[in-house]
């Protein structure tokens, strides 16, 4: 199967450091992973750029859908410039029309502006009504890889759909499975399909100390957050090594 690249998405510098120290190959750098990821700050881009592995920054100005107006496009173009300034290896983008079809013109503008940086199409791909057509659009645009869970909530639920996309792609673009990727699901997934890279969040929910020290100031789970779990990163790296 050859070496399988592990990309981990993070939204803090601590998470990025933990990913590097535990052997992952690439970082998808975001803000606000709780809403699916938005563009990381310039400060986070700068700090992550010093860690020594390829950084792909999410270029997404807000949460919600992937329908962007011209003002959003201006923001994203500037953010691509920031990613380039901080030495990012690539960017992660997606844009659709209201019916879910990929917005070719907006994506072309973003891809062209990225220059020689790598480009990943994020899970905007998974809301498209016709993944076969979306795949050909991504290839025509010169995008390097597609992130997908096969239009399902988890990678195993979408595995057969992912395999169909891989078969159609026929090596013309990399297909990178995501969602609920862990050592157990990887073992099941690789019985169905063969890939050269996978994407995981490796996250664990932690409760804020506020809940104990000042319970009146921490109602419910307002201060709980998901963190990049170094134990999960290491376990996944070790599992993937058995396939290399």
Mean pLDDT of each 10-residue bin along the chain, 244 residues long:
91 98 98 95 97 98 97 98 98 98 98 98 96 98 98 97 98 97 96 96 87 61 85 97 90
Domain of residue 223 covers 5-241
In this prediction, residue 209 carries a pLDDT of: 79
In this prediction, residue 223 carries a pLDDT of: 78
Q: Please give the helix or strand (H or E) that residue 176 lies within, else none.
A: strand 174-177
In this prediction, residue 214 carries a pLDDT of: 62
Q: Are strands 145-148 and 225-228 parallel, antiparallel or unpaired?
A: unpaired
In this prediction, residue 217 carries a pLDDT of: 57
In this prediction, residue 244 carries a pLDDT of: 78
Q: Please give the helix or strand (H or E) that residue 7 lies within, else none.
A: strand 5-10
* Whole-angstrom distance, CA of residue 157 vs CA of residue 220: 32
Provide the number of structural domains found in the chain: 1
- How many beta carbons lie within 10 A of that of residue 185, not counting itself? 20
- How many beta carbons lie within 10 A of that of residue 79, not counting itself? 23
Full-model pTM: 0.95
**Domain with 17 in it: what CATH number?**
3.20.20.380
């Amino acid at each position: 199967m050859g070496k399988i690249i592990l990309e981990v998405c993070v939204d803090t510098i601590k998470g990025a450091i933990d990913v590097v120290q535990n052997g992952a190959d690439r970082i998808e750098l975001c803000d606000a992973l709780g809403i699916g990821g938005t563009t990381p700050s310039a400060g986070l881009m700068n700090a992550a750029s010093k860690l020594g592995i390829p950084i792909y920054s999410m270029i997404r100005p807000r949460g919600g859908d992937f329908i962007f107006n011209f003002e959003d496009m201006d923001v994203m173009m500037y953010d691509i410039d920031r990613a380039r300034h901080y030495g990012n290896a690539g960017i992660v983008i997606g844009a659709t029309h209201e019916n879910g079809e990929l917005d070719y013109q907006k994506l072309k503008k973003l891809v062209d502006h990225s220059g020689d940086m790598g480009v990943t199409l994020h899970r905007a791909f998974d809301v498209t009504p016709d993944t076969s057509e979306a795949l050909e659009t991504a290839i025509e645009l010169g995008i390097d890889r597609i992130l997908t869970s096969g239009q399902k909530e988890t990678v195993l639920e979408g595995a057969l759909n992912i395999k169909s996309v891989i078969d159609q792609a026929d090596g013309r673009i990399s297909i990178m499975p995501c969602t609920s990727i862990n050592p157990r699901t990887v073992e099941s997934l690789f019985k169905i399909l063969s890939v050269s890279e996978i994407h995981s969040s490796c996250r664990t929910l932690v409760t804020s100390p506020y809940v104990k020290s000042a319970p009146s100031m921490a109602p419910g789970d307002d201060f709980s957050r998901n963190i990049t779990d170094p134990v999960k990163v290491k376990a996944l790296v070790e599992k993937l090594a058995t396939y290399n």
